[in-house]
Amino acid sequence: MFKKIALTVVILIIVVLASAYFYRNLLVEKAVESGSAYALGVETNLGSARLALGGGSLALNNLTIANPDGFAEKDFLSLRRGVFDVDAGSVLDKEIVVDSFVIEGVTLNLEQIDRKGNFQVLLDHIKQLNMSSSGDSRKFRFGLIALRDVNVTGSLNLMGKNYEKSFTLDDFSLRNVGGDNGATISQVTATVVKTLITKALASGNGLLPDGFGNNLSDLKDQGVDKIKTEAADKLKDLGKSLTGGKK
């Protein structure tokens, strides 16, 4: 009889601990999704959040940030995995201190249709945002946020013609995010995305399609020049084929 009672108690303890573990994971997942969606104004989905059973680390897997309406790609940004060191008992605290947050496998899709860029839509939303209304009172202080394996695709659609280039962004880090007062998930998301966009546009000079980020009048002129150049190249190729490659 005693053994049965003891076994029942053990099972109940396991069930309670497992429920608490999955509940914490779910809370983290929902907090990341809602905070990021608030910061950027687009749908955000997190595949899973996994807090290590022994504490010490939290993994975020397969995060996707949707593209604003009117753009071709489904996602503006996706990341394969993010891991940060945290005390398991502090996950639900008002202030969470994180030594390092390493983000790996980022795909960033920058699109511009004539003069409208998806990145500018998100930056405008962040600029107009009232972070104090995000609804999340928990604050984070990150000693280091490191981004690794960042791949950027820039797509310029000009007068119906599409120009696309891709490149890899050098690894980079942000330090002391949140400062002494801490930052909400929305504020951290806004900081990371703004930095990603800024670095991608700066590093993409010469790597992104020519004219990316220019105003509409410049783009139209450039589009005409591109069409003329392409037509001239085709005529040259045709001439070479007719003369057997001789001048």
The answer on pLDDT for 7 being more than 70 is no
222 and 109 within one domain: no
Instruction: Say what the pLDDT of residue 222 is.
Output: 41
List the domain range (segments joined by +) for residue 36: 2-213
Instruction: At 127, list the tokens.
Output: 């600029």
220 and 207 within one domain: no
- Considering the chain, what is the average pLDDT of its residues? 76
Cβ neighbours for 171, distance < 8 A, ≥ 6 positions apart: 146, 147, 148, 149, 150
242 and 155 within one domain: no
172 and 108 within one domain: yes
187 and 75 within one domain: yes
227 and 168 within one domain: no
Number of domains in the chain: 2
231 and 208 within one domain: no
45 and 147 within one domain: yes
The answer on pLDDT for 41 being more than 90 is yes
229 and 119 within one domain: no
89 and 42 within one domain: yes
Instruction: Say what the pLDDT of residue 42 is.
Output: 95
Task: Give the mean model confidence (pLDDT) for residues 208-219.
Answer: 61
Amino acid at 179: G
244 and 145 within one domain: no
Secondary structure (H, E, C), 19-75? HHHHHHHHHHHHHHHHHHHHHHCCCEEEEEEEECCCCCCEEEEEEEEECCCCCCCCE
pTM for the full predicted model:
0.74
The answer on pLDDT for 15 being more than 80 is no
Q: Render pLDDT for 18-35 as a digit per residue (tens, 0 to 9).
A: 444 444 656 667 888 888
102 and 83 within one domain: yes
At 208, is the secondary structure helix, strand, or coil? coil
